[in-house]
Structure 1
């Protein structure tokens, strides 16, 4: 286990969103969290990304409670976890600079200062950025302004920026929502490649067909609670919970 939510509950403005949720991801594993919009998928990813601490329960990194670690150690864990949001946020700058930005902000200050003085890290960063752009099929777009890209290309730039930081865990919130089939296929190929490289990947999606294609394990999140977890063939073809069966069959209304 690399990263896990253990019995977490969380809410906003007095309204509970997640109820006693547990979810883990191992190195090289692709875990999808499926469920309708508004059921708490994004909140769960934000807790795993350490953007906030849960109201109850724990987030664990290699079996240590992250929120009990010293600040420097917790920051080191955050640097190993990257999240890509449903709506990519890119800068008015070339694609390469957008991807490089993630490297710069994740690098500890002493390394950043040495890089600025010696320019040694810059060349290594360039190779890392090129590799990340190759993974998402954007080689040749490095000099193009990121704001001029299509929606699918912009999402792939955000994916490349996350990959460039060499994460141990990659969190993806609806990574192909509203994308055309080609961009969806490219994103799914990049997810598979990340898993093959040993990255633990957690994908939040309402697209059950996508979950079937890419998952090693599926967690069904309904009404803020994980009601079933298992391999995709079990969850979608022989679910143990009747609510899962109804959700997969489209019989539950939200």
Structure 2
């Protein structure tokens, strides 16, 4: 390959020098343009920062107004709620006093009625008196071996049922008086009284079976006993070769007591 001549090398050098000169001029023009536009760019940046600060300030003012509005609303509603609460409590206290007065009146009426009847039953609201009565009646034996029948129990049941009714009425009065503690105690006493009645029927049933020969029996070794009064019906069945399997008592209010 032939070497380039002197003219061609000179032309390349000139072109390179011209290109470098053009690049230098372009850079100088860019630098001059940047320097000439510096204040404008700074102004734009300052305006952007000012706009950002203005927007931030507006957001803070808006949040402040919202907070002040909310606090004013809460304060107003709180005052309104306090007023309504005071009115409500005043009405409740008024109703409570009326209820307590009514309960006291009913209790006084019950006491006066019990006094006029010369009742030996305890006052359900007098817990020591009621506990003493329940304890004594639990230890009291109904009937004896000389009279293995239900008559003694039947004679005692009206007072027992009356006491149950009195306790139930006292529970109702305590409910009206919103006295939860007294309600619970009275319900316990009522359950105890019902259980005592149940145990009395158990005892009488066992005594009848112990003296079944006084009542007669069927040839098939089955024993049947039935009796009734104005308020109660009593039926007892047993296999004489074994213990009594079942007994039931139904009173006038159709309550059913079962003895296994």
Higher RCO (C-alpha under 8 Å, 6+ residues apart)? 1
Q: TM-score range by the shorter chain?
A: under 0.3
The structure where helix makes up a greater share of residues is 2
Larger Rg, first or second structure (1 or 2): 2
* Higher share of residues assigned strand: 1
